[in-house]
Amino acid sequence: MSEHILVSQQDTIQRIQLNRPEKKNAITTVMYSAMADAIEQAGSDASIRAIYITGSEDSFTSGNDLNDFLQNPPQGAESPVFRFLRAISTAEKPIVAAVNGLAIGIGTTLLLHCDLAYAAEDAKFQLPFVNLALVPEAASSYLIPQIMGQRKAAELLLLGDAFSAAKAAEVGIINEATSADNLENLAWSKAQALAQKAPEALRLSKMLLKKGNAEVIAQTMAEEGKLFGERLQSPEAMEVMQAFMERREPDFSKFS
């Protein structure tokens, strides 16, 4: 358990809440481990029928904790981030996300592995990997073009600009944007609806929906992970991290 990841069970729904608002819910290795544990535990607990993921205050999550990532770069398939990605992408039980605010990096890409995703109208999404001199993760380099086509995928993944909840709904990253006041009601009611379905029928249906992609998702995650790890050590990424600490824009003019 981690104080920054709150896990509880309400009726038959497991609630996972990112709870590090002072750092915009940036995710550390400890938090990835706690979320992987929670999702795995939900998988083996027959009393849990659905998983619900949300953030706190103004953030869903601002993505990987950049300081922690530098200090504890992911190494190998058993590193916490990869354990989390494996758990969320292969979970048999339905997962519903309620995006209450900032959803940056993995804050957006983890939604690709949730069955349903809802967001507050003022939530902000971003896939800033190239801006950070990194590459996409969480199989987003495959899933983003798959859900919206190459044209829009290139805009979101290569330019890396922030986009609105309305746009996230339009391109298929979330199901629906709603008012901040209504978000919890809406997303929780969908989790409840899933939790009341025949569990085996739901499990099998989810498996059928995802089966065509399962292998390519695992392969893409491995390939992205290797490049991402190499990129983290790159001079380009060092420049970005330094700029982040010094609160200035990175300067890539010296790189070829």
Residues of the shown chain interacting with ligand COA in the complex, contacts defined by CB under 6 A: 23-24, 26, 62-67, 102, 104-105, 128, 132
Q: Output the CA torsion sign for 254, 67, 80, 34.
A: negative
Q: Which is nearer to ligand COA, 1 or 130 (CB)?
A: 130
Least distance between ligand COA and beta carbon 40 (Å)? 23
Least distance between ligand COA and beta carbon 206 (Å)? 27
Least distance between ligand COA and beta carbon 81 (Å)? 10
Least distance between ligand COA and beta carbon 67 (Å)? 5
| Whole-number Å distance between alpha carbons of 202 and 13 | 15
| Whole-number Å distance between alpha carbons of 249 and 239 | 9
Q: Which is nearer to ligand COA, 52 or 60 (CB)?
A: 60
Residues 6+ apart with CB under 8 A from 28: 4, 65, 68, 72
Q: Which is nearer to ligand COA, 18 or 50 (CB)?
A: 18
In three-state secondary structure terms, 9 is: strand
Q: Which is nearer to ligand COA, 4 or 24 (CB)?
A: 24
Q: Which is nearer to ligand COA, 106 or 194 (CB)?
A: 106
Is-contact 46 38, C-beta < 8 A?
no
Q: Which is nearer to ligand COA, 64 or 178 (CB)?
A: 64
Least distance between ligand COA and beta carbon 125 (Å)? 12
Least distance between ligand COA and beta carbon 242 (Å)? 14
**For residue 145, what are the CA distances in angstroms to 177, 209, 241?**
21, 18, 28
- Give the other-Cβ count within 10 Å of 234's Cβ: 13
What burial class does residue 64 get, using C-beta atoms within 10 Å of its C-beta: 0-12 exposed, 13-18 middle, 19+ buried?
buried
Is-contact 164 119, C-beta < 8 A?
no
